[in-house]
Amino acid sequence: MRVRIRAPRPADEPMYAEAVRRSAEHIGRWNPVEPDGLPDLLDRQGVGLRTFLIEDLETGGLVGKCNVANIVMGRFRNGALGYDSYLPFAGTGRMTEGMRLVIDRCFADPADGGIGLHRLEINVQPDNDRSIALARRLGFRHEGFTPRMLFLDGAWRDHERFALTAEEWTPLIPE
Ligand SMILES: CC(C)(COP(=O)(O)OP(=O)(O)OC[C@H]1O[C@@H](n2cnc3c(N)ncnc32)[C@H](O)[C@@H]1OP(=O)(O)O)[C@@H](O)C(=O)NCCC(=O)NCCS
């Protein structure tokens, strides 16, 4: 592993803003670009939303961010993953490594520091090839097509829905 994951904190704001600004073009076609969005994200952390920053172990640089959103416990134990990778780390495989750590944390038992989810989904616009490649690389199954699912960049956008359940995940062995 070349990365680690951790919760964001207020001291990350400058590093976060810089990484998002630097990556605006890379992110912007698919997700909102909000360099100053970390304080709001920190405010919204709770039972329904957990954010993880993915950090490069060697340099401490910010590789990416993953939100585990729409978390519902009870009989569903489900969450939706939303993510961005940042330059200069995009396309180096580090985001994939970080996402594996996030998924592992999502499925792990709360007694072991996990969230205790049973199912994760990833919703991707049909022509977002890099995100679809990432979902498939992580082992997500294509479940279906959801028309007009999310309001992004001024319109309701169709999404392809991918999912993974805990039974399909081999827990990572801690190093
Ligand atoms: C979707 C997104 C998060 C994918 O992240 P990424 O940076 O491509 O992910 P990785 O760094 O793990 O890159 C994997 C790629 O690097 C390549 N790679 C290079 N060196 C590698 C290495 N040492 N190990 C593994 N893969 C490596 C892989 O071949 C792979 O390329 P491919 O997808 O063309 O096959 C990113 O493109 C992004 O932020 N997009 C904009 C926002 C977005 O679309 N978010 C998701 C909305 S649903």
Give me the domains of the chain, ranges plus CATH numbers: 3-168 (3.40.630.30)
27 C-beta closer than 6 A to ligand 1:
yes
What token pair was written down for 171? 């827990």
Integer Cα distance of 85 and 27 in angstroms: 8
Integer Cα distance of 163 and 148 in angstroms: 18
Q: Looking at residue 175, what is its pLDDT?
A: 59
Do residues 2 and 94 touch, judged by C-beta distance below 8 A? yes
The Å distance, Cα 29 to ligand 1 centre, comes to: 15
* Residue of the CA atom closest to atom 12 of ligand 1: 93
What is each CA distance from 145 to 50, 69, 133, 149, 160, in whole angstroms? 25, 19, 16, 9, 5
What is each CA distance from 131 to 30, 60, 139, 144, 172, in whole angstroms? 9, 24, 13, 16, 22
Rg (the chain; Cα; Å)? 15
* Residue of the CA atom closest to atom 23 of ligand 1: 93
Do residues 95 and 54 touch, judged by C-beta distance below 8 A? yes
Most ligand 1 atoms within 8 A of CB, residue of 92, 124, 138 to mutate: 92
Most ligand 1 atoms within 8 A of CB, residue of 62, 134, 137, 161 to mutate: 134
Beta-carbon contacts of residue 170 (< 8 Å; ≥ 6 apart): none
169 C-beta closer than 6 A to ligand 1:
no
Do residues 124 and 160 touch, judged by C-beta distance below 8 A? yes
- State residue 69 phi and psi, 5-degree precision: -110, 170
The Å distance, Cα 95 to ligand 1 centre, comes to: 6
Quick one: which atom of ligand 1 is closest to the CA of 26? Answer: 41
Q: Looking at residue 173, what is its pLDDT?
A: 81
Q: Looking at residue 62, what is its pLDDT?
A: 98
Collect the ranges in the chain with pLDDT lower than 50: none
For 25-50, what is each residue's pLDDT tens digit?
A: 999 999 999 999 999 999 999 999 99
The Å distance, Cα 96 to ligand 1 centre, comes to: 7
